[in-house]
Amino acid sequence: MIQEFISSPLALLTFTVIFYSAGSAIYRRARIALLHPVLLTFLAMIGFLVAFNIPYQTYREATSVLDFCLGMSVVALGYLLYEQEERMRGQITAILSSITVGSLVGILSVVYIARWMGASELIENSIAMKSVTVPIAVGISERVGGDLSITSVVVFLTGIFGAVVGIRFLRMLRIKDASATGLAMGAAAHGIGTARSIEEGATEGALSGLAMALMGVVTALLTPIVERFLF
């Protein structure tokens, strides 16, 4: 009886929200990158699902509403982008070229590293879109013959890693420009990186949201082409 309740859609969705709220409270108090709320929620939910023997597919179906909310949050970033309209004028060519290069590097680097380590073609096709937000990445993975579960996990891990170390790494490289920081975070770490960028400032958040959206479009166009001719 308890198992049925715990594995119900409402219970799984509720526990996800509780874990994230607790993680956010811990992060706000500690302000330590490794205690990012998404990472804490990710680890807590893995432990929860394993402890109660709940299949990932059951959890995914129960929390599908969160995917819808994720799409809505991406649209909401358009307001931040509108506020930065003046700042972006004259930079369209630079932005588009940097996103295109970033997409190619993101696809090829992870695929050839996986190939060098002896990974199968299924793994290569599943991780090529690691830097794209989950809804788009899953669609691309399905088109090129990847495994959707692997794609989802890799995309989450990429976003978490980028959110945890991205800003610090850019500062180590002495990159302080707000536009460059936002574009880099959005292109490399999609939605989770964008959430981290918003903490830095409105410009970083707006450009990160733009980079995330463009990265999804460019990667969706390039992945089948790269997969056909180079994989």
* Predicted confidence (pLDDT) per residue in 41-79, tens digit: 888 988 998 888 888 888 888 887 877 776 666 666 666
If one counts the domains in the chain, the total is 2
Considering the domain architecture, whether residues 58 and 77 belong to the same structural domain is answered as: no
**Which element (helix H / strand E) includes 34?**
none
Considering the domain architecture, whether residues 37 and 83 belong to the same structural domain is answered as: no
Q: Which of 62, 81, 105 is the last residue of a domain?
A: 62
Considering the domain architecture, whether residues 21 and 122 belong to the same structural domain is answered as: no
Q: Which residues contact 37 (CB under 8 A, 6 or more apart)?
A: 20, 23, 24, 26, 27
Count CA atoms within 13 Å of residue 125 on its CB side: 18
In this predicted model, what pLDDT tens digit does every residue of 153-198 receive, in sequence order? 888 888 888 888 888 899 898 888 888 898 899 888 888 888 888 8
Report pLDDT for 21: 92
Distance of alpha carbon 27 from the chain centroid: 19
**Structural domain of 57:** 1-62
Considering the domain architecture, whether residues 106 and 157 belong to the same structural domain is answered as: yes
pTM: 0.77
Considering the domain architecture, whether residues 75 and 167 belong to the same structural domain is answered as: yes
Average pLDDT, the chain: 82
Considering the domain architecture, whether residues 31 and 113 belong to the same structural domain is answered as: no
